[in-house]
Structure 1
Amino acid sequence: MSGPYVLRAQQRLSALGYWLGSADGEYGYLTSQAVMALQKAAGLGRDGILGPKTKAALERGVRPDARTRSGSAIEVDKTHQLVLVVLDGRLRYVLNTSTGSGRPYTSDGHTYVATTPEGRFSVQRQIDGLRVSRLGELWRPKYFTGGYALHGSPSVPGFPASHGCVRLSNPAIDFLWSSGVAPIGRTVWVY
C-alpha cells in the first residue's frame, strides 16, 4: 500500500513520536513496526495493520506515558512491549520491542528462563557491528547489565519472544546509534 493516505498516517505517527524513519508514503516494515507500537500503547491487537480500531487510536493521539519526568532515559515497558526514548523529561520516540519470552531455554547444558531483568541500569558497553553469541545474533548491541542489551534483530514480533534482551528492528537500533540518544552512561529503566 502506498500513497497520500499512507503518507498522512506516517506523518501523524511521527508527530506522536512513533519512530518509523522518514515518512515516504510507502507502507513498509518500519511503518508496520510503528503501527504495532501504537497498537500496543492503545491495548489493541498487535498485527501492524492500520485497521479501523488502530486508525481511531491514531486519530485520538494515543501515546504511552513515560515514567521519567526529568533528564534523559531509555525506558523498556515490558507490559506494553515498548521502548520509550525520553530526552530532557519529554517522551520523544516510541519503538516497538520484544523482550524476554518467560519460557525455558537451554544453553551449554543448563536450563534458564528467558526474562528481561527489571530495574535501573545504564548503557555500559556497546559493539558497533554484529555480535554472534551462543543464543543468536545481536546487531549493534548496547549492553545495560551483564549480557543483556538493546540490540537490532530482523524479527521483532508483537509479543515477548527474546531470551531476555530488548529486541528492536535493525533500523531502529541504527537510529539509536546515529541520533546519539543512547550513549554510554544513558539510563536504561526496565519495568
Structure 2
Amino acid sequence: MRKTISCMLTANAALLLAAVLPFQLAPGDVAPSRPPVPAGSAGSPGVPGAPDVLAAPPGRPESPGRPVSGRGHAAVRFPVLRPGAEGTIVLAVRRRLSRLGFDEGPPGLTYGPAMRAAVWAFQKANGLPPVDEVDGPTWRALAHPARIRPLVPSGGPTRVEIDLRRQLLTVWRNDRPELVTHISTGNGEHYCEKGHCGVAVTPTGDFRAWLRTPGWTSGPLGDQFYTVYFNGQIGFHGSEKVPRHPASHGCIRIPLHNARPIYDMIQPGDPVYVRRPGPADERPKSRRT
C-alpha cells in the first residue's frame, strides 16, 4: 500500500523546493518541518503538495499541475494549490504575494480566504482570469510578474486608483504601488432596500477622501468595516462578501483583511481616482525579477 505523503515538507524537501521555485526565497521563507497530516485532511493527496511533485518515485504519474522553469533548472511540475492546502509551499507563495504588494492576510501555512482574494488580485493584475487555484500560468506570473501600471501617472505620490474593469484597487505611496487588492463595485442594477432606492453605480471621476469611520458601522444598505468616503456616501470599506463580480450598491467592497491597512494609509484630502480603462490601457507589461 502506498505510503501517505504529507503536504508538510521535510527539511530536505524544503531545501529542494527552495532550489527549484521559479522565484527566489529570502532567508526564513522555508518554514520548519511539521508532523505528517492524516489521510483525508487538507494536507492529504486530495490537495496536491510539493512532495508529490518533487519526490515522486520513478514511473509514478505526475500530480496535477503545469511545468514551470526555475532559474538554472529543468522544467519542474509544480502542484495546483487550492483553498485548504497547507505546507511550506503555501507559505512561500503567500510571502511572494506579500512582497509584490498583494496582502495575503494573517501569516500561516494554510491557503485560506484572505490568500484566495490575494491570488485573485494578483491574477487580474497579470492579465489572468481570477480562479481559486495557483495553477501553471499563476506560477509563471509569480516568477515574472507584470509591472503595476498607474491609471493616473501624475495623480500624486499618495493616492488610490480604482479600476472598475478589472475590479482592482491600488494604493500608491511615494509613487509606488503599496497594496493591490481585489474589490467588488456597483453592479449597475436598480435596487430598493429599507426605503432607499437607486441604481447601483460606482461613478468614474477624480475625488478626494473626506470622511473616515473606524471599525464596524451599520447603514441602510449593510454593514461596513473601516470605511473611507470619497464621493458623497460612496466609499471603500471592508466587507464579508467580496465576490469576483460587481455586486455592491455603489461602494467599493474590500476583503476584510485589507480594510484596516488601507484605512491607515489614506488620509482626508488624498486623491481617489476611479477609472474604467479599455483593454489596451490595462494590458500588463511583464518584467523579470
| TM-score after normalising by structure 2 | 0.61
Tell me which moved more, 40-49 or 78-87: 40-49
Question: In the aligned structure 1, how far is the partner of 2:270 from the partner of 2:105?
Answer: 22
C-alpha RMSD of the superposition = 1.8
Instruction: Verify: 1:44 aligned to 2:128, yes or no.
Output: yes
Structure 1 residue aligned with 2:86: 2
Aligned length: 189
Aligned partner letter, 2:230? F
Deviations 1:35-78 (CA, angstroms, capped at 9, x unpaired): 00012123323233212222222222134312343411011111
Structure 2 residue aligned with 1:20: 104
Question: In the aligned structure 2, how far is the partner of 1:111 from the partner of 1:181?
Answer: 32
Deviations 1:130-184 (CA, angstroms, capped at 9, x unpaired): 221111111121111111011110111111111110100122111223xx31112
Instruction: Verify: 1:91 aligned to 2:186, yes or no.
Output: no
Q: Is the 8 A contact 1:68 1:89 kept in 2?
A: no
Question: In the aligned structure 1, how far is the partner of 2:182 from the partner of 2:270?
Answer: 19
Match of residue 117, structure 2, among 18, 33, 39: 33
Q: Is the 8 A contact 2:103 2:180 kept in 1?
A: yes
Question: In the aligned structure 2, how far is the partner of 1:5 from the partner of 1:108?
Answer: 47
Q: Is the 8 A contact 1:16 1:63 kept in 2?
A: no
Q: Is the 8 A contact 2:207 2:230 kept in 1?
A: yes
Q: Is the 8 A contact 2:235 2:251 kept in 1?
A: yes
Larger strand fraction of residues: 1
Question: In the aligned structure 1, how far is the partner of 2:147 from the partner of 2:105?
Answer: 18
Instruction: Verify: 1:163 aligned to 2:220, yes or no.
Output: no
Q: Is the 8 A contact 1:114 1:163 kept in 2?
A: yes
* Per-residue deviation, 1:22: 4.9
Q: Is the 8 A contact 2:161 2:171 kept in 1?
A: yes
Structure 2 residue aligned with 1:145: 231
Unaligned runs of 5+ in 1: none
Instruction: Verify: 1:183 aligned to 2:267, yes or no.
Output: yes
Larger helix fraction of residues: 1
Going from structure 1 to structure 2, the CA distance change for 1:50 and 1:167 (only over 3 Å counts) comes to same
Structure number with greater Rg is 2
Question: In the aligned structure 2, how far is the partner of 1:109 from the partner of 1:137?
Answer: 17
Question: In the aligned structure 2, how far is the partner of 1:176 from the partner of 1:91?
Answer: 12
Q: Is the 8 A contact 1:76 1:190 kept in 2?
A: yes
Instruction: Verify: 1:174 aligned to 2:260, yes or no.
Output: yes
Tell me which moved more, 159-168 or 124-133: 124-133
Question: In the aligned structure 2, how far is the partner of 1:25 from the partner of 1:189?
Answer: 35
Q: Secondary structure at the match of 1:102?
A: coil
Q: Is the 8 A contact 1:127 1:141 kept in 2?
A: yes
Aligned partner letter, 1:29? P
Instruction: Verify: 1:61 aligned to 2:184, yes or no.
Output: no
Tell me which moved more, 125-134 or 160-169: 125-134
Q: Is the 8 A contact 2:171 2:262 kept in 1?
A: no
Going from structure 1 to structure 2, the CA distance change for 1:105 and 1:93 (only over 3 Å counts) comes to same
Unaligned runs of 5+ in 2: 1-84, 276-289
Higher relative contact order (CA 8 A, sep 6+): 1
